[in-house]
């Protein structure tokens, strides 16, 4: 049971769960490939990891663009010779009621939360097939387990990914592992992407009351990755004890 020397690519690595995951995995000896849209934040994180004795490379990555995921996977193979794990942490949540008709926000969530995961699968699956090994880890949400007002489209994208991951698991045979991790309320900048002021304020208030640190989710991701090759942890739910 080890993470050491695994080559792990992480989308959404510039902040929140992605950043916490990258930091933890690098500290445990993984060689990490960092992807996100914010170049300066990626460069800073890579520098922090290397200063602590880890190995990291980064590439500006917009998961809604298929070519960016192809380039990220190619970077892993060029620098480190292979890719062992792709962790899909990139996600946005500009939630609102349906009757607010924020259709652009709906489209953005579909592009990032769902298409972004599919683009990662399309980029990494051929590599995993050649290697006869690999692991997809996707961060979904407890919002898909308990449906509440304002989160209809967001929850739909997360449940779509949950469906994709289960079908992928069944198709993949004995050499590919597939894990979905469902966080509850986590202390990240999740609310910052919300365009509805009332909803954003309500979500931020609840986060301030009960949210757990993103490192808690990172530890769950690390647990799934470090299992022996014959053990596939398919689903993990991690939420605050105080979350209803």
Strands (E), the chain: 7-11, 31-36, 55-60, 85-88, 134-139, 176-183, 235-238
Residue 86: strand pairing partners? 9, 136
Structure tokens at 39: 């170049």
For residue range 151-160, list pLDDT tens digits in order: 999 999 999 9
Instruction: Specify the DSSP class assigned to residue 242.
Output: T
For residue range 115-152, list pLDDT tens digits in order: 999 999 999 999 999 999 999 999 999 999 999 999 99
pTM: 0.95
Mean predicted confidence (pLDDT) in 194-210: 89
Active-site residue list: 154
Options 3.90.180.10, 3.40.50.720, 1.10.1380.10, 3.30.2130.10; CATH for 7-238 is 3.40.50.720
Q: How far apart are CA 83 and CA 103, in angstroms?
A: 36
Q: How far apart are CA 40 and CA 29, in angstroms?
A: 24
Structure tokens at 77: 């193979």
Q: What is the pLDDT of residue 196?
A: 86
């Amino acid at each position: 049971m080890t993470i050491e020397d695994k080559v792990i690519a992480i989308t959404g690595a510039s902040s929140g769960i992605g950043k916490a995951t990258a930091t933890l995995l690098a500290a445990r000896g993984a060689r990490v490939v960092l992807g996100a849209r914010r170049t300066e934040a990626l460069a800073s994180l890579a520098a922090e990891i290397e200063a602590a004795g880890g190995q990291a490379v980064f590439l500006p990555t917009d998961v809604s663009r298929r070519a960016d995921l192809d380039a990220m996977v190619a970077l892993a193979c060029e620098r480190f010779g292979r890719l062992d794990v792709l962790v899909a942490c990139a996600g946005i949540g500009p939630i609102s009621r349906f009757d607010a008709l924020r259709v652009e926000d709906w489209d953005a969530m579909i592009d990032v939360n769902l298409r972004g995961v599919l683009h990662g699968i399309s980029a990494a699956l051929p590599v995993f097939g050649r290697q006869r090994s690999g692991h997809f880890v996707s961060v979904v949400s407890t919002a898909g387990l308990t449906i509440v007002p304002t989160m209809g489209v967001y929850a739909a994208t997360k449940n779509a990914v949950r469906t994709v991951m289960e079908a992928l698991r069944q198709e993949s045979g004995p050499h590919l592992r597939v894990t979905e991790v469902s966080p509850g309320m986590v202390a990240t900048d999740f609310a910052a992407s919300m365009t509805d002021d009332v909803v954003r304020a309500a979500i931020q208030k609840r986060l301030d009351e009960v949210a757990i640190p993103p490192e808690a989710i990172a530890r769950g991701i690390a647990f799934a990755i470090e299992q022996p090759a014959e053990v596939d942890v398919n689903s993990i739910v991690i939420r605050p004890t105080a979350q209803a």
